[in-house]
Amino acid sequence: MTRPSGFTSSAWFHRVTDRATTYDFVLERAEQPVPFTFAQVTDLHLCVDDEPTGTEIRRPLTSKADLADLLAEIADTPTPDGRGVAFVAATGDLTDRGVPAEYAALRGVLGAAPLPVEVLPGNHDHYGHRHEPCPGDDPLDSHGMSTGTTTRYEEHVGPRWWSMDHGGVHFAAIDWFSHRLGGDRAMQEAWLHADLSAQPEGTPAVLLVHDQMKRDSLERMKAAAPHVRLLGSFSGHWHTCRTVVDDGAIHANTGNATFGSCDFTPPQYRLCTWDGANLAVRTVTRGGVTTEPPDAGTRAFGYPLARPWDEVWSKALPGGAHMAAPVVANLPDGDGWEIVFVAWGNEDEPGGGLLALDAVSGEELWRVGTSSTVRAGAVHSPGVGGANGTVVFASVSGEVFAVDAVSGECLWRSQVGDPLHMWVYMEPLVHGGLVFAGDVVSFQALDVSTGATIWRREDLGRPENYISVAHPVVQAETLLLGFMDQSPNTWGLDPRTGATRWSGGDEPLLSPMSGFLRDPDGEHVYTVRFGGVVEKFSARTGERRWKAGIDTVFTAGRPALAADATGIFVPSSVGTVYRLDAATGETVFSTELADESLLAMGVPIGSGGR
């Protein structure tokens, strides 16, 4: 049953045991004033506490207590309308393994929740057959793999797609994973199109999915119900924070609600307020910090002129800085004049851009705005576009800009790939008159003078829920790329044509995790892979020279070369910096850092239980 505006129901679906039976739904009037606010949480990965796996105790990504605390926090969160959050939409991966014990724990927490929680499945909710096989399992197949079993979610939770109205807004949820696998795509779309077609002219609608829907699916939906106003879609799956506006609709992909995400953003949820005309989205990180623009007293960074690192100036950015380090450029035409280029973003407008500041005074020289957050740093190319050079940067949705370093004049703008499906966290690379930019969905070489596409690769892997931060480099006249959760995951391409010279890395999770580091010998490259695997390999052939291990899973920082080039320094996410011998990979020493250096990336991993 689609629950209409102004009503609620303790039971909005019945399990059919006899098709001859009549099933009644009882509606109860409910106050649903406008404006109202709903919250989106996603990728909870609820686990059963202290569950043994073999000889070890499996620490939960999200425990029952964690989920209960999250819902209590949301229930107490102030909203613009002053009425509090009306309901929570949990967009999939409610459980980690999709087994009965986790579903039972989920029902227990939701049954005691202080506000209504509407749920839909993600891929992990369909993985029960992998962990506790049953004779009746009939998983959907993808490329010969037993990928998902949908009956378990239906048995323990309910319908995998549904709709409801609240305060005049129509909410529709679908099972993205089974849709993606093709198991019931036609059935779901027929239902969704009929559901939307039945709505009155101008009805505002919100789509709830586990992952961002493909553009062709959205276009079919719009064609089936052109009279409905799509306000946006809310999704997860990628464990990242990214918001894009497309054709007036907000498409918000949200990170994990109870632990840090794969893009190193903290636990988060969205607050979405409908005022009767527009939908406003605010991202809340756990602990009360939001992504709203900082006030005038917020410090970005200080430029040190003398030790002990006294602050000379501070500058509030238009939005938050994420993984993009500031770039300091010495301009040859400016008599030693230095400019600092700082990338920023705001998930809630959404938007971002690049800011140029005088390095000595902090004075703002110019800014260039983008339609989505800038996650990766800018690149200054001194020899391009005049004596002072050109600055190239990219937004998370694939906009690539080239601007004059001094004036900020936009020289060109190019769109790499479909903005709905780009997750650009890799810095662009300027080399040999070309700009290399993109991600695994679409990676392109652009002419540095015009922005024209020289070549494009859209066959380097499949889009998945890990972002790639292995910033590209050219070594031995080979363009090196690395993509997370792919097989192969490491590529050596001809930078002029994009042709494959070699590919490697057949284990998806052992993917390059941070930027490639070039060896001064002109041939070799170092990389840190997911899981703490450090490698040295030939850029020309991809052949490995050595492999070493460090005590970490995630590595946010890039490796650095020692001054004498005999070693490399590798940071870990559990508070240790290693020096490895550049020739052999052997550990020379390791140093523990202070606790404030640690990353909150879920279950503690490392020595000493940290």
Number of domains making up the chain? 2
- 391, 421, 440: which is the final residue of a domain? 440
Given this model, what pLDDT does residue 309 score? 61
**Averaged pLDDT, groups of 10, the chain, 610 residues long:** 92 89 92 96 88 55 93 94 95 95 96 96 94 85 75 94 97 95 93 97 97 94 96 95 94 92 88 96 72 39 47 86 84 74 91 93 94 90 76 95 92 95 93 95 95 96 82 96 91 97 85 88 93 93 94 80 94 85 96 62 31
> Which CATH number covers residue 276?
3.60.21.10
Grouping H, G, I as helix, E, B as strand and the rest as coil, residue 266 is coil
> With contact defined as beta carbons under 8 Å apart, do 402 and 433 qualify?
no
Residue 261 structure tokens = 């995400």
Residue 373 lies in a domain: yes
> With contact defined as beta carbons under 8 Å apart, do 468 and 426 qualify?
yes
Residue 542 lies in a domain: no
Residue 331 lies in a domain: yes
Given this model, what pLDDT does residue 386 score? 66
Given this model, what pLDDT does residue 598 score? 52
Residues β-bridged to residue 346: 351
Given this model, what pLDDT does residue 513 score? 81
> With contact defined as beta carbons under 8 Å apart, do 128 and 98 qualify?
yes
Given this model, what pLDDT does residue 607 score? 26
What's the rounded Cα separation, in Å, for the pair 239 and 256? Answer: 6
> With contact defined as beta carbons under 8 Å apart, do 215 and 227 qualify?
no
The model carries a pTM of 0.89
Nearest 5°: the CA angle 476, 480, 486 is 150
Residue 559 lies in a domain: no
**Considering only CA atoms, which of 530, 533, 536, 535 is closest in space to residue 511?**
530
C-alpha distance from residue 135 to each of 149, 160, 496 (Å): 12, 22, 54
Residue 366 carries which side chain, given as an amino acid letter? Answer: W
Residue 23 lies in a domain: no
Same-domain pairing of 100 and 141: yes
Nearest 5°: the CA angle 86, 92, 98 is 130
Q: What share of the chain is helix, strand, coil (3-state, %, to 5)?
A: 15, 35, 50
Same-domain pairing of 97 and 125: yes
Same-domain pairing of 45 and 132: yes
Same-domain pairing of 384 and 319: yes
Given this model, what pLDDT does residue 10 score? 84
Same-domain pairing of 250 and 308: no
**Considering only CA atoms, which of 289, 276, 279 is closest in space to residue 243?**
279
Same-domain pairing of 231 and 325: no
Residue with tokens 């497309």, as numbered in its chain = 246
Residue 314 lies in a domain: yes
Same-domain pairing of 242 and 275: yes
What's the rounded Cα separation, in Å, for the pair 63 and 59? Answer: 9
- DSSP letters for 418-483: -GGG----SPPEEETTEEEEE-SS-EEEEETTT--EEEEE--S----S-------EEETTEEEEE-
Same-domain pairing of 159 and 299: no
Given this model, what pLDDT does residue 479 score? 98
- 275, 290, 305: which is the final residue of a domain? 290
Residue 376 lies in a domain: yes
Phi/psi of residue 461, each to 5°?
160, 180
> Which CATH number covers residue 403?
2.40.10.480
Q: Where are the beta strands (DSSP E) in 110-161?
A: 117-120, 140-142, 145-148
Residue 509 lies in a domain: no
- 398, 420, 440: which is the final residue of a domain? 440
Q: What is the 3-state secondary structure (H, E, C) of 272-336?
A: EEECCCCEEEEEEECCCEECCCCCCCCCCCCCCCCCCCCCCCCCCCCCECCCCCCEEEEEHHHCC
Give the containing element (helix H, strand E) for 337.
Answer: strand 337-346
Same-domain pairing of 305 and 283: no
Same-domain pairing of 47 and 95: yes
Query: Which range marks the domain in which residue 279 is found?
Result: 34-290
Same-domain pairing of 322 and 432: yes
What's the rounded Cα separation, in Å, for the pair 242 and 264? Answer: 12
Q: What is the pLDDT of residues 345-389, one digit of tens each?
A: 999 989 999 999 999 899 999 999 999 999 988 988 887 766 678
Same-domain pairing of 337 and 214: no
Residue 475, classified by CB atoms within 10 Å of its CB into exposed (0-12), middle (13-18) or buried (19+), is buried
